[in-house]
Structure 1
Amino acid sequence: MYTLPVISKSGKKEVQVNLPEEINPHVLYEVVRWQLAKRRRGTASTKTRGEVAYSSRKLYPQKHTGRARHGDRGAPIFVGGGTVFGPKPRDYSYTLPKKVRKLGLAMAIADRAKEEKLLVVEAFEGVNGKTKEFLAWAKANGLDGSETVLVVTENELVRRAARNLPWASVLEPEGLNVYDILRHERLLLDEAALKLALERIGAGGEA
């Protein structure tokens, strides 16, 4: 059980969330590897000796020239020839058990909570879509840009206000994932995003 601070206009507030106490780096590795594999376009392609634009005529007779024997100009041994065992378009994605994916997300959130790098926001007061408004809010709440921050909120105006900052990335609550959590130093969730995240990982929480 972790106690998370909540940024609230009404004063000090906390929320209790049930997250894993032990964090297994290998589970996080497996989930990140699965995510990045899914993102690969898999469009790399090379031509074999049968696909390069060269004649298939034999260069010169097999014997009695004093030179090495060769076939056509498109052989891999020649510059511009075909590629042996080169990449072809393929799908790099693979399946990962849902239980492992849920556990990975729970551990990633728990890791930020354990490091005291997870903040919950009741409401982004004064932020109405302008970057300067989010900057003012962030400065007032101890976020000065010295650490990268992942902002997860259902409020489109807040996402619009934060997306241009070099130290902040924004996501909708449905898009919360292990890779983006781990590549940012801080995790900032609004209450709706926290509720959805806890539902996804099957954990409970209470204010």
Structure 2
Amino acid sequence: MAVAKKEGEKIESKQKFAIPLYTLLGEEQGLVDVSGAIFNTPINLDVITQYVRVFRTNQRQGNASSKTRAEVAGTTKKMYKQKGTGKARHGSAKAPIFKGGGVVGGPKPKTYQLSLNKKQKKIALFSSLTKRFQDKDILAVTSNEGKIKTKDVMRFIKKLDFVDKKILFILPSVDTSAFVLANRNIQGVQNLFFHSLNAYDALSASKIVFLGDSVSELEKHFLSKE
């Protein structure tokens, strides 16, 4: 006999989600379980669109600037006497009608900063990761605590046929400086710590690779705050 759930009681899903796990040699090691609360959420395209717009707008420097006649360097002396020259009357050589003079209505430094609240950012990130998970573009790789060289990372990339693709490595909290040094000169490779992952980077990368325990740390970081 089925037992009815009490009103307001959360029904836990028994469905499990996992991503493939590889070694740096490119050999498959099995699967890594991931949380459905992050990798299997409703995809909110509206929030993703808002996030991408805000992210790209915030990259604008807004430092274009021109000088007005008051800011142009030079003398304020009258160009020539008012009468008797046969020329039109003029005062300062810094007037906008002259070459090298000030600019009327020109650009000035401004900020283009936009913002989203924390909930919107989290929805955008979870939606993006869900989309990438559904497209099978997310995997994990075991961390190598020993010495690692650029050729080791290149071997991994070639073995998984990721050459000429934009690869986003998600780093755990442990020291990964050796891994970063080994891949920083490889074209198309980007490194981000798990707590810095955002929807824009998750969508723009061809493949997302979680290094070591970064996937579990990502889940703890974002889900513990709910």
CA deviations over 1:80-129 (Å, ceiling 9, x no partner): 111223333344323321111111111221221122111123x1458733
How many pairs does the alignment contain?
Answer: 199
Gaps of 5+ in 2: 1-14
The correspondence for 2:153, drawn from 127, 134, 139, is: 134
Conserved in 2, the CA contact under 8 Å of 1:129 and 1:161? Answer: yes
Partner of 1:84: 104
1:145 and 2:166 equivalent?
A: no
1:48 and 2:68 equivalent?
A: yes
- Which letter maps to 1:84? V
CA deviations over 1:113-168 (Å, ceiling 9, x no partner): 122111123x145873310111223334x143142111112233222222211021
Q: Distance in 2 between matches of 1:80 and 1:66?
A: 20
Partner of 1:111: 131
Q: Return the TM-score normalized by structure 1.
A: 0.77
The correspondence for 1:173, drawn from 169, 194, 197, is: 194
Displacement of 1:37 in angstroms is 4.1
**Percent identical:** 27
Displacement of 1:20 in angstroms is 2.3
The correspondence for 1:17, drawn from 28, 35, 42, is: 35
Gaps of 5+ in 1: none
Secondary structure at the counterpart of residue 190 of structure 2: strand
Q: Distance in 2 between matches of 1:116 and 1:127?
A: 29
RMSD of Structure 2 on Structure 1 (CA): 3.2
- Which letter maps to 1:178? A
CA deviations over 1:27-56 (Å, ceiling 9, x no partner): 223223333444444443321110102333
- Which letter maps to 1:86? G
Conserved in 2, the CA contact under 8 Å of 1:118 and 1:188? Answer: yes
The correspondence for 2:121, drawn from 101, 106, 109, is: 101
CA deviations over 1:170-206 (Å, ceiling 9, x no partner): 1222221222222221111135322233345439xxx
Q: Return the TM-score normalized by structure 2.
A: 0.71
- Which letter maps to 1:147? K
1:3 and 2:17 equivalent?
A: yes
Distance change in 2, residues 1:162/1:198 (3 Å): same
Distance change in 2, residues 1:152/1:88 (3 Å): same
Q: Distance in 2 between matches of 1:51 and 1:20?
A: 55
Conserved in 2, the CA contact under 8 Å of 1:151 and 1:171? Answer: yes
- Which letter maps to 1:148? K
Secondary structure at the counterpart of residue 119 of structure 1: strand
Conserved in 2, the CA contact under 8 Å of 1:150 and 1:171? Answer: yes
Distance change in 2, residues 1:130/1:29 (3 Å): same
Q: Distance in 1 between matches of 2:110 and 2:79?
A: 34
Highest CA radius of gyration, 1 or 2? 2
Secondary structure at the counterpart of residue 213 of structure 2: helix
Q: Distance in 2 between matches of 1:147 and 1:14?
A: 23
- Which letter maps to 2:49? Y
Moved over 6 A (4+): none
Partner of 2:94: 74
- Which letter maps to 1:134? V
